[in-house]
Amino acid sequence: MPKKTQPAGEVFTERVEVSGHIIDSLILPKILDCITAAGGAFKIDRITVGQARKDPSYALLEVSAPSEQRLQEILAVIADHGAVTVAGADCRLVAADMDGVFPEGFYSSTNQRTEVRLGGQWIDVDLQEMDCGVVVDPQSKTAACRAMTEVRRGELYIVGHAGTRVHPPERQQQQHGFEFMNSPVSTEKPKGVAIRQVAIELVRTKQQGGKSLLVGGPAIVHTGSVEHVCELIRRGYIHRLFAGNALATHDIEQSLFGTSLGVRLDCGDIVEAGHEHHLRAINRVRRWGGIKPAVEMGELKSGIMYECVKYDVPFLLAGSIRDDGPLTDVVTDALEAQRIMREQVRDVSFCLMVATTLHSIAVGNLLPAWVKVVCVDINPSTVIKLGDRGSFQTVGLVTDVEPFFRSLVAEVDRLEKSAS
């Protein structure tokens, strides 16, 4: 609670502190900027700057604003950047008064590591995810992010920003390939380094027992990349697949008919009537009762979906209103699909998004900030959109899909050989 210092001059103030690599990670400048931009003012009461890059710094600020509401807004904003009020207080809890609705004034989560103060003690928030509420169980002293639709009457949600603490990401050690990829829109840069970096992440994730998630669009099939992805699955580098009806359909169309949207992938010829092939593929899979039965019956013998079944890679096909068919396996309800994705990303440590805006943004919304994400698309606007929406842990790679996968497989191969 800020104290109303001057009823006359009408300035409301609050002291906050922030620590860590706040100068070279741009955290402090960002906080100062937010305060001024939002119409507030600040005084720096104390500042200690680390003598070297690895030493943490500390700052104590007095934030002021012309109204209490404005002050609260400012404190909410800078809390997301790690500024914590000195006059510590527990988080404030309000019970949900109806299902599927947060209490008014609910604390809205970021995708960064967050702690909340409960009984004077800071505890970690579980299931970190942006744009959620934080449900708290005072009994067990646990807190977790929860989506709006999942709210049940009577649950206790945090209201306001008091008693919450966000740990903004600190600038990492110089990461050659990835650091360089931070300006994603330029198409005029060498891609080889970046692709090698993705290969390194895949190999490291596998070695450490982590899970790599591939989120992919149908251009993977149209550009002739199926065999590359199959190879990655067979070698154990892909542990989850999120896609839509289109990727699975065209993958199966190619397996059954040798075409993708009617284009023969071996010679590029357009088989005129071929636009029907994808419909016929869907119809057959529906007849067979789904993708897994189709594989088990020996009807589906190759392709990405086939390898997923064979190598036990769980896949989610999320429906959309532009789907033909769809395949029996498609989860047509968006909320149900979100629930499954939420479940399946819990243990994902690396995520590769290729040639799909819709699924990439959907998954980006669900991932905590510390999961590394690489987004590959030939169209810079997809990469930009993902960045605009706060998935700032994402590095973008503007390149052509098929050559990307071809090089990726080659790099993974080289890494495997050099390791053995």
Interacting residues with a copy of itself between 124 and 163 (CB under 8 A): 131, 148-149
Instruction: Give the residue, chosen from 77, 123, 144, 415, that forms a contact with a copy of itself under the rule CB under 8 A.
Output: 77
Q: Is 24 in the site for a copy of itself (CB under 8 A)?
A: yes
The nearer residue to a copy of itself, 108 or 142, going by C-beta atoms, is 108
The nearer residue to a copy of itself, 163 or 274, going by C-beta atoms, is 274
- What is the smallest separation between the CB atom of 34 and a copy of itself, expressed in angstroms? 6
Under rule CB under 8 A, which residues in 389-408 are in contact with a copy of itself?
A: 390, 398-400, 402-404, 406-407
Instruction: Give the residue, chosen from 3, 7, 9, 51, that forms a contact with a copy of itself under the rule CB under 8 A.
Output: 51
Assess contact for 382 and 142: CB atoms under 8 A: no
Q: Is 269 in the site for a copy of itself (CB under 8 A)?
A: yes
Instruction: Give the residue, chosen from 7, 119, 140, 273, that forms a contact with a copy of itself under the rule CB under 8 A.
Output: 273
Give the range of 9-17, 42-50, 111-119, 290-298 binding a copy of itself by CB under 8 A. Answer: 42-50
- What is the smallest separation between the CB atom of 25 and a copy of itself, expressed in angstroms? 8
Assess contact for 260 and 219: CB atoms under 8 A: no
Instruction: Give the residue, chosen from 17, 68, 150, 276, that forms a contact with a copy of itself under the rule CB under 8 A.
Output: 276
Closest by CA to 79, choosing from 110, 105, 58, is 110
What sign results for the dihedral spanned by CA atoms 409, 411, 412, 414? positive
Instruction: Give the residue, chosen from 11, 200, 358, 415, that forms a contact with a copy of itself under the rule CB under 8 A.
Output: 358
Instruction: Give the residue, chosen from 228, 359, 375, 395, that forms a contact with a copy of itself under the rule CB under 8 A.
Output: 359
By residue count, the chain amounts to: 420
Under rule CB under 8 A, which residues in 80-109 are in contact with a copy of itself?
A: 80, 98, 100-102, 104, 106, 108
- For helices 380-388 and 357-366, give the axis angle rounded to 10 degrees: 20
What sign results for the dihedral spanned by CA atoms 243, 245, 249, 252? positive
Bridge-partner residues for 125, per DSSP? Answer: 143
- What is the smallest separation between the CB atom of 18 and a copy of itself, expressed in angstroms? 13
Q: Report the alpha-carbon distance of residue 305 to residue 226 in Å, rounded.
A: 10
Instruction: Give the residue, chosen from 333, 343, 347, 413, that forms a contact with a copy of itself under the rule CB under 8 A.
Output: 333
Q: Is 5 in the site for a copy of itself (CB under 8 A)?
A: no
3-state DSSP call for residue 338?
A: helix
Q: Report the alpha-carbon distance of residue 71 to residue 77 in Å, rounded.
A: 10
Instruction: Give the residue, chosen from 141, 186, 236, 297, that forms a contact with a copy of itself under the rule CB under 8 A.
Output: 186
Q: Is 200 in the site for a copy of itself (CB under 8 A)?
A: no
Closest by CA to 19, choosing from 161, 151, 170, is 170
Give the range of 6-14, 75-83, 137-145, 232-240 binding a copy of itself by CB under 8 A. Answer: 75-83
The nearer residue to a copy of itself, 11 or 23, going by C-beta atoms, is 23
CA–centroid distance for 340 within its chain: 15
User: How many CA atoms lie less than 13 Å away from 404 in the CB half-sphere?
Assistant: 24
Report DSSP letters for 116-164, one per residue.
Answer: EEETTEEEEEES--TT-EEEEETTTTEEEEE-GGG--TT-EEEESSTTE
